[in-house]
Amino acid sequence: MTSIKKIGLLTSGGDAPGMNAVIRAVTRTALMNNIEVTGIVNGYAGLFSKEFINLNALAVSNIEGTGGTILRSSRCKEMMTDEGRDKAANICKEYGIDALVVIGGDGSLTGAQTLAERGISIMGIPGTIDLDLACSEYTIGFDTALKTASDAISCLIDTSNSHERCSVVEVMGRNCGSIAIWSAIASGADIALVPEVNDITTEDVIKKVKHTREKGKKFSLIVVAEGVGGSVKLAKDIEENTGIESRATVLGHIQRGGHPTVLDRVYAAIMGNKAVQLLINGETNKIITVQNGKCSSIDLEEGLKLQKTKKKFDKDLYDVINTLSI
Ligand code: F6P
């Protein structure tokens, strides 16, 4: 049996739909095994300000379908310094937190690794809309963000079609093109500009827009990843060079909200449950992952090392956009 009596739980970095479902899964699995759960409010910042709440079974009732994070989140500058990391580790020890479960992306898990180096037992759960972790096929929030982006693009297609315009849509994803590629495929985009493919010029895009018009298509849809940016300028260049009215839309933070999809809720439940099960079995300093479609785990340090060599780019998936466009 486990020697763990108390788990600390926090959400950190950009929030992601499904984080609440993870909070519920972690809390309920822990309580079922007589482990107390301390919710740390506002991410690592709440660790420093000691904003702690006790999470009981009812506190996490009926949250699996809600967006945002009931624990709130932050990007915490103090966790970027050695002094801050020492302080955070000491607070965990002072408050009897035997293990810290961190739900977040790359930066948040890197912060967790610095605490692991200071003797805190860590479980990381990938929660980010970006799908940008090299060590996991899935990150909680991606499916919901993708649905939100694709639904918004459908609306843009309606109006672009009515006005015979070109729509340039910028989606989130930081330095990763996953949301752009998947939403481009889902929406039948003519072209997607992503950071992983850097040889597509503005001239290529203009050529493509002209080509699809010549073939009789009445509207154009260009998806631009945040990591490429410049959608307003691109729309202007397209309009000037083709005479086709063009509009840019930056979807922005709308992609971070909303009710999580079923996929996000289910992954959240499975991954949250696994995180606590591993702790109970005496395992520590891991990232919960999805590998070959199955919930698995990887050593925290190793998982973050993979991040340095970058996520493997799926060129075949990207090429589907071009193959299916006119
Ligand atoms: O990591 C999630 C994300 O939404 C990225 O796609 C985006 O680059 C970033 O966070 C935006 O961060 P903030 O909410 O701090 O502006």
CA separation for the pair 21, 258 (Å, rounded)? 13
Provide the pLDDT for residue 1.
57
Ligand 1 pocket test, candidate residues 110, 139, 148, 172, most atoms within 8 A of CB: 172
Provide the pLDDT for residue 90.
98
Alpha helices in 193-230 (DSSP H): 202-214
Provide the pLDDT for residue 308.
87
Burial code (b: 16+ CB inside 10 Å, e: under 16) for 5-17 equals ebbbbbbbbbbbb
Torsion of CA 53, 58, 64, 65, to 10 degrees: -110
**Alpha carbon of 211 to those of 188, 220, 242, 311: distances in Å?**
16, 10, 11, 33
130 lines ligand 1 (CB under 6 A): yes
| Beta strands at 166-171 and 246-250: parallel, antiparallel or unpaired | parallel
What's the chain's Rg over C-alpha atoms? Answer: 22
Ligand 1 pocket test, candidate residues 256, 307, 311, most atoms within 8 A of CB: 256
Residue type (1 letter), 280: I
If you measure from the C-alpha of residue 100 to the centroid of ligand 1, how many angstroms do you get, rounded to a whole number? 23
Tokens of 254: 């709308």
Instruction: Work out the angle at residue 313's Cα, subtended by the Cα atoms of residues 224 and 174, and round it to the nearest 5 degrees.
Output: 45
Provide the pLDDT for residue 226.
98
Residue with the smallest CA separation from ligand 1 atom 4 is 14
Residue ranges of the chain whose pLDDT lies below 70: 1
If you measure from the C-alpha of residue 14 to the centroid of ligand 1, how many angstroms do you get, rounded to a whole number? 5
Nearest to 105 by CA among 145, 140, 67, 68: 140
Residue with the smallest CA separation from ligand 1 atom 7 is 174
> CB–CB of 53/296 below 8 Å?
no
Neighbours of 173 (CB within 10 A): 28
Provide the pLDDT for residue 312.
85
Provide the pLDDT for residue 12.
98
Residue with the smallest CA separation from ligand 1 atom 2 is 14
- State the DSSP code for 256: G
Which atom of ligand 1 is the closest one to the Cα of 173? 6
170 lines ligand 1 (CB under 6 A): no
Q: What pTM value is reported for the model?
A: 0.97
Q: What are the backbone dihedrals phi and psi of residue 185, each rounded to the nearest 5 degrees, phi first? A: -65, -45
CA separation for the pair 161, 316 (Å, rounded)? 29
Q: Tell the burial category of 260 from Cβ atoms under 10 Å away from its Cβ (0-12, 13-18, 19+).
A: buried
76 Cβ contact partners less than 8 Å away, ≥ 6 residues apart: 12, 43, 44, 45, 48, 84, 111
Whether the domain at 6-141+260-308 and the domain at 144-255 fall into the same CATH topology: yes
Which atom of ligand 1 is the closest one to the Cα of 253? 4
Domain 6-141+260-308 -> CATH class: alpha beta
Active site residue 130: yes
Sequence ranges of the domains in the chain: 6-141+260-308, 144-255
The CATH number of 144-255, from 3.40.50.460, 3.40.50.1100, 3.40.50.2300, 2.70.160.11, is: 3.40.50.460
Residue type (1 letter), 174: R
Q: Check 15, 106, 130, 264 and give the catalytic one.
A: 130
Point out which residues pair with 37 in neighbouring strands.
7
Which atom of ligand 1 is the closest one to the Cα of 256? 4
Ligand 1 pocket test, candidate residues 110, 174, 228, most atoms within 8 A of CB: 174
Neighbours of 232 (CB within 10 A): 16
